[in-house]
């Protein structure tokens, strides 16, 4: 007795489903989990990105809910320190149903890939994102070498 073709269809159909689920599993694994990543209970808060533009270094840090007074940035040579406190902005007279946004003090230090000119560093804070532009001193800038 010939097995009906539809039986095979069902078999492969479920295998397809399994394969799709497995594929998504691996994709999800690589995905940034914002909930975890933003948590202040990590040792290295705030999350930062460091970019090298050749003539300067730029570091961007995610610091939602902070203003200038809450942050403290120190630079010396190739050592950078970012400290701050996030205070609660709970409004007066309201009952809190759910609090997920943390309020804590943080401190994080970095060893930059090269020395920077501390006198010419600029810092901007916008939309909860801190950007530090750190120009490199002349000696640290990459130079084009001409081949004779």
Partner 1 sequence: MNDTKDVVERKEELQERRPDVPVVTPAVDIYENDDEILLYADMPGVEKDGINVNIDNGRLTLSGTRRMEASGAANWEEFGGVEYRRVFSVPQTIDMDKVNAELKDGVLRLHLPKSEAAKPKQIEIKIA
Pick one of 72, 76, 81, 101: the residue that binds partner 1 (CB under 8 A): 101
For the beta carbon of residue 44, count every other beta carbon within 10 angstroms: 10
Pick one of 25, 26, 29, 99: the residue that binds partner 1 (CB under 8 A): 99
Q: Does 43 bind partner 1 (CB under 8 A)?
A: no
Q: Furthest-apart CA pair in the chain: how many Å?
A: 87
Q: Does 4 bind partner 1 (CB under 8 A)?
A: no
Three-class secondary structure of residue 4 per DSSP: coil
Q: Does 29 bind partner 1 (CB under 8 A)?
A: no
Distance CA 51, CA 72 (A): 21
Task: Write the interaction track for partner 1 spanning residues 55-74; mark x where CB under 8 A is met and - where it is not.
Answer: ---x---xxxxxx-------
Backbone angles phi, psi at 76, to 5 degrees: -150, 110
CA nearest to 129, candidates 34, 65, 50: 65
Distance CA 110, CA 130 (A): 15
Residues 121-140 that bind partner 1 (CB under 8 A): 125, 127-129
Binding site for partner 1 (CB under 8 A): 5, 8-9, 12-13, 16, 20, 31-35, 37-38, 44, 47-54, 58, 62-67, 89-91, 93-102, 113, 125, 127-129
């Amino acid at each position: 007795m010939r097995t009906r073709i539809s039986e095979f269809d069902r078999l492969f159909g479920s295998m397809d489903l399994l394969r799709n689920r497995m594929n998504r599993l691996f994709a999800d694994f690589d995905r940034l989990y914002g909930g975890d990543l933003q948590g202040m209970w990590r040792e290295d808060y705030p999350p930062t990105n460091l970019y090298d533009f050749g003539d300067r270094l730029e570091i961007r840090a995610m610091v939602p809910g902070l203003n200038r007074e809450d942050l403290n940035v120190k630079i010396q040579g190739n050592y950078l320190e970012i400290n701050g406190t996030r205070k609660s902005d709970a409004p007066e007279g309201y009952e809190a149903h759910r609090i997920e946004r943390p309020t804590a003090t943080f401190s994080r230090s970095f060893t930059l890939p090269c020395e920077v000119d501390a006198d010419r560093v600029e810092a901007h804070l916008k939309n909860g994102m801190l950007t530090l532009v750190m120009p490199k001193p002349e000696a640290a800038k990459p130079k084009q070498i001409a081949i004779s």
